[in-house]
Copies of this chain bind each other. A is one copy, B any other.
């Protein structure tokens, strides 16, 4: 007994530096300003294990639309414990015939694990100018290098489920169709910078809700 008390005394000395407010993590406090490195940190007294656990990927996304697919994300806006830690996740649900349209992420590379089903996945490189694509089966993993256009679609006859991870807590998702046809970019500019025909642009603007 006598032995323990002195050790405890020194232990508290060893930890004199841990009485400050800087933590081993920085859980997002959405009510404070955010900066280039992410959100401000929640006060330690308010952090619990629930900040580090997220259950939103446990539920399949709705795949009843025409693309028959859904992306459900666990990015820092949904999952505050990711803040500052350089990782995020998402689940891809692809019904039979489902497709995740071609897109990029402004931040980070992506790795995919096929939980169930059969998925054709690929990315396009400009150097060399090549599309790398392959059919992935249950248990396969594929890496999509940073910043390159990539896509996934179900090539099997059962629904497919995949888990993806990206090395940014806030990687963004830039679907090319939404970028071109789903915002305020005028059709004339879309056509000029893509060489797409006017009829094609207007047809897809109607689909994706673009104005202008």
Contact = CB atoms under 8 A, between A and B. Distances in A.
Interface in A73-91: 73-79, 81-91
Chain A at the B interface: SS class: mixed
A138 B175 contact: no
Given A120-B189, A139-B58, A7 B67 contact: yes
Interface string A111-149: 101010000101111111111111011111111111111
Nearest to A141: B54
B8 A141 contact: no
Given A10-B62, A24-B145, A115-B115, A193 B4 contact: no
Given A34-B22, A40-B35, A149-B176, A182 B139 contact: no
Identical copies of this chain, number = 6
Given A17-B75, A120-B189, A141-B89, A195 B34 contact: no
B108 A86 contact: yes
12 contacts: A7-B207, A20-B77, A22-B39, A35-B38, A52-B134, A57-B113, A58-B139, A85-B146, A122-B185, A124-B185, A126-B175, A130-B184
Contacts of A73: 16-17
Contacts of A196: 196, 200, 204
Contacts of A158: none
Given A57-B141, A113-B57, A126 B18 contact: yes
A17 B77 contact: yes
B72 A167 contact: no
A73 B20 CA distance: 12
Contacts of A84: 35-37
